Amino acid sequence: MRKLRVAVLFGGRSAEHEISLLSARNVVEALDRDRFEPVLVGIDKAGRWLLQEEALLLGASRDPRLARLNQSAPDVALLAHPSPAGEAALTIGGASQAIDVVFPVLHGPLGEDGSVQGLLELAGVPYVGSGVLGSAVGMDKDVMKRLLAQDELPLVPYETVRRLAWEREPSEVLARCERLALPLFVKPANLGSSVGVTKVKTYEALADAISLAFEYDSKIVVEQGVEGAREIECAVLGDEEPIVSIPGEIVVDHPDGFYSYAAKYIDERGVTTRVPADLTEAETRAVQLLALRTFRVLEASGLARIDLFMSKSGEVYVNEINTLPGFTSISMYPKLWEASGVPPRELVARLIDLALARAERRRKLKTST
C-alpha cells in the first residue's frame, strides 16, 4: 500500500504561534514513516501558508522564543475542490500535490477555533481533531462554561466581560468581578497556553489584569480561584466511543504562582508533572468520568485534554477543555497517553485513523433527497 500523505499544519495567526511549532516538531517525529509521508505546512503570523523543510523543523530550538518559520519557503494553497476519493489538493509553487489527511497542530484563534476546520470541511479532506462546532465552543471559555453549566457540570464562579462594557462602565465591571472571592484569574476568552492570563491577589490589581487580557481578546473571563486546589488533567482519545487516560497532576513552583506561560515553556524548573496523579481509586474514576462528560457535552472529537481543579476537601471542578492540546516535549497530552500504554507513534497513528474513519462516515451521509 502507498503511504498516506499527511499535511501537518502549524504556526498560525495567534499568540500561541511559537508553541505550535514546538508541537508540530514532536508530531512529525512520531509519524510512522512506514505508513505516512509528511507534508509540512507552516502558517505565518500574516496568514501565509508556506512549505517547510523537515530538517529545519526538527533541528529548530526547543525554546519558543527562538522558534521561527522559513519565510522564504514556497507558498502553499489549499483548493476547496473535494475529491470523491477523499483527497484534497495543495498547490505548492504552482504545482498540485494530493494529500490524504490533515493533522492541524494549531493552537489558539484562527486554528483551534473552528476557522481552519471549516476550510478543511469545504475542501473535503479528513482532518484530526474536533469539527467546527466542537472546536469553536472549546475555544471560547465563556460559551464553553455556559454549555457545561447547562448540563450541570461543576464550575468555579466566574464573570464574563466584554470590551465595550469595560470601556464604558469600568466601575460596574469591577464591582461585578469583586463579588468573586480572591484569588482571581483573568483570562482572554479565546486563547490558550496561559497567554494574557494574570493571577490577581488583590482587588487593586484587577483593573490592570483586565486591561492586559483585553490586549489579546475582545471578551475575557474572570474566574474565582480555588485556594490550594490541585490541578488535575486527563487526556481523551476517540470519537463516538472515547477513552480517557490516567490522570496527571501539575505542580507549580514558579514566581507567577500559577501555571503561566513562563512556568510552562521558559522556566525549566517552574513545573513538576506527576503522572499518574496521587489519587485514590475513587478520585481517579471521578475525574475520568468528569473528563469524558466534558468531552461529550462540548461535542469534541479525536482528542482533547480536560483540565480540572480538585479542592482540599476533594471537590472536583471543570476548568476547561483544550481541543488541540500541545504536543511539545513537556506537554501533558502525549505524556498521559504514554503512561497509559499508548506511546507517541501509536497515538499519532490512532488520531489519523480516527480522522479517516470519521470522514468515511461523513461521506456516506445523503446530501440530497
**What is the SS3 assignment for 209?**
helix
pLDDT at 258: 60
CB 36 within 8 A of CB 42: no
What is the grid cell recorded at 368?
A: 440530497
What is the grid cell recorded at 341?
A: 500504554
pLDDT along the chain (369 residues), means of 10: 93 88 92 96 94 82 70 88 71 86 92 94 94 96 97 97 97 97 94 82 96 95 91 96 97 66 59 92 97 98 97 93 90 96 97 96 86
Q: Taking Cα atoms as reference points, which of 93, 156, 87, 105 lies closest to residue 320?
A: 156
Element counts in the chain: helices (H) and strands (E): 12, 17
**CB-count exposure of residue 274 (10 Å: 0-12, 13-18, 19+):** middle
Q: Which residue has the cell 479528513?
A: 126
pLDDT at 266: 55
Separation between Cα atoms, residue 2 and residue 37, nearest integer Å: 9
Q: What angle do CA 228, 230, 233 make, to 5 degrees?
A: 155
- Say whether pTM exceeds 0.75: yes
Separation between Cα atoms, residue 207 and residue 205, nearest integer Å: 6
pLDDT at 262: 58
Listing DSSP states for 140-178 in one string gives -HHHHHHHHHHTT-----EEEEEHHHHHH-HHHHHHHHT
